[in-house]
Structure 1
Amino acid sequence: MKDWLRKHPDVRTIRVAAVDLNGQARGKRIPARFAENVVKNGTRFPFSVLNLDIWGEDIDESPLVFEQGDQDGVLKPTERGFMPMPWLEAPTALLPIWMFRENGTPYEGDPRHALRAVVEKFKERGLTPVVAMELEFFLIDDSGKTLQVPPSPRSGKRRKAAETLSIRALDAFDSFFTDLYDACEAMDIPADTTTSETGLGQFEVNLMHCDDPLRAADDAWLFKMLVKGLARRHGFAASFMAKPYPEYSGSGLHTHFSLVDEDGRNVFDSGGPKGTATLRSAVAGCLNAMHDSTLIFAPHQNSYERLVPGKHAPTAICWGYENRTSAIRIPAGNPSARRIEHRVAGGDVNPYLMLAAILGAALDGITQAMEPPPPITGNAYAMEDLPQIPDTWEGAIEALEHSTTVPRFLHPELIKNLIQTKRQELHYIGELSESERVELYLDTV
């Protein structure tokens, strides 16, 4: 890590940042000449900092604050190391960190450790998850009273319509996407294909598959930070808010995953289109936990405006082959690449918690040799007999609070912290107008 700074002598300050339950970066600014001390000894801030609400306020009922004296945790660099922050004017480095207790054990309320614990359970079974993510976001002009698509830097015109898979829409913001790909290269984020989507000024960038789930979640977290910061340098906003425009589809974060054994074999590959019994058990586990873990996939009030029938987001708990109306889709293609696509999460999620919930549920299904219901064919929105994903924020909070399934793969302290956080947000969000809610979520999530 120290070598990185020596190779970048123009970097004068660093940011050390950990991820809180809402996916926000929490940390410090440090002069680069003191960076070696952080690398060697870490830094400190209170456990409660990873359990703040969406405004950055303490949780009123949290035992982490006054009950425990607001004790410090020890934050150490992750294996990611230093990287540039291309959205800032001055040359600056980011050092991702995560939290430990004083005795060196991981802090269970840290979302990155939640994912690490799930991945370790896979390793105990000789399995490695291979993960890829598709992140949707909106480019937005938020300078006026109402949100609208930014004018094209090339033509100065606004295209006030959805332009699904439009090359013209991509070319209209070519300078932004060129800078974005250059920045991803500098930060070692594996950005692949970009497409325009069905929303107003909406785009999707795919991140290449990775056989390290922690790194995949890092990539998604860093990518969200990068896109939002870089857009501001270009004179507009970028947002992963689930649904900024009521009349258009919202933004999802779809996750594809397969599992490979110690010989590098995809254990979902049956040699044909249907997949193996292990794949079906993983699907069953995901379906079994979906209702109770919805709060992780839809963590904010605005999230539930996306989860409505007919708007390209799942509402029923079901699975199918090559069916984008289902919550779990098994894509077609070469059997060696057989995988599961989990389609519930919005763009506003914490990627670490999301991936921990998906992979943890899949492993739960495999461990218990669960069998899923028959796959659906046709339009899931029109099937009234299917179990449904919670359609309200309060309902999702209650589902997680009373779950006996989710504690099998997420630590009880993290679950309790998340529930307290969301109950506090639910209370105070009710005091805001719709425009104030949009303003809150536009930049934070």
Structure 2
Amino acid sequence: MYLNSIFKSLSRFSYIKKNFSYENLQDVEIITRDYWGSLRNILKSFSNHKINLTDIEPLKLSRTHKGQNIVVKLTFEKVEDKKYNELIYDLQQRYDQVLINNDMSVPSVPWYPRTDEDLKTIGTIMEVNEENNQDHPQFKDIEYRKRREEIAKLSQAHLVGEPVPYINYTEQEEQTWKKIYTILREKVNLVMSQRYLNNFVKIENALGFKYKIPQLRDIDAYLRAETGFRIKATHGILSQREFLNALGHRVFCCTQYIRHHSTPEYTPEPDIVHELVGHVPLFADKEVADLSQELGILSCGAKKQDLSRLGTLYWFTLEFGAYKENGFIKGYGAGIASSIGECDHFPKAKYEKFDPFIHADRSYPIQTVQPTYMYTESFDDAMQSLIIFGKSLQKPFGLYYDFIDKELKSTRRIKTHLNDQ
């Protein structure tokens, strides 16, 4: 059977079961001649023995003098010995090359959290290289650092699914919030898209952003009700892999401390202003939330180079993205909305048409305003281009999120490792 016919047959003979444990998956590889009906005959053996397949991967081998051969990798749940032995005997009678438990063929990929239990490791096992302005008062003020670490310690102890720690913010911290929020509130109206503003106003009215620093516990409840996103309080900057992997579980890792009071217009690291004014209105939007989770799932098990490219695309879209709205380029990224400098710079900046296949390898500054913003003709164009790029990544297994079990499940057996993070 030729490959185009093979793929047409897949939907008729297999489906992904929604409640298996991938530790119990079994791989079998079969090499056979490529003829009309070859795959159908293989699948018939599984059907006869009433064994459900979770993944099928047919590949052409190089052409030989005997004709074209294909290798078919099939993955299914382990069954009782009798049924399993009968299947293998059947296959071995039909095909000369049947490979069983070939561990060399089991993909080995970087570790990723599969369950909420695994998410407890966030911020504990992966190294982070921060690129911050160490001369900023945020790093030199001893009293500020003591207070920041006090909040960070509470945040780091928070586990996904538990109530987010309540922070008793000081009067100085509340004043810092009011000062920066009052300024940003005026500026976002000028540069941000209506899509962002609609969500922002809705949250602002629901949680009283104008009057005090909102508690992440309330933000968590709000997002759960709107889009199913959850909050994980965290102590500071996470590794790119951890942050993106968490998004795959519809979890947003969020700081609780606030920037230094002497320079409320600028912070060298993410703080609660950046998180709440910038990111939360996006996670409250269903389409953006869904896309964020898809990017997160793509990052799980991704090799280092692909992970870096996904992180760069996240930067150029959900952090600093823009698109045309009523003929004008407007921002939607969190980094624009939460920064006075970016808001002021945005109207006079350079713009470049977004192409993920080009910009995935583009470098960008972290401690200065962005020299160029990437834009698309519409918000939907940005989303579609990211989806297309994601499909181009070569991953040796498929992943989907089970919303009932709150678990990322693999379509085939894999091994994970902690190298190449």
Higher relative contact order (CA 8 A, sep 6+): 2
Higher share in helix: 2
Same fold by TM (over 0.5)?
A: no
Q: Bin the TM-score by the shorter chain.
A: under 0.3
Provide TM-score, normalisation by structure 2: 0.26
**Structure exhibiting the larger radius of gyration computed from Cα positions:** 2
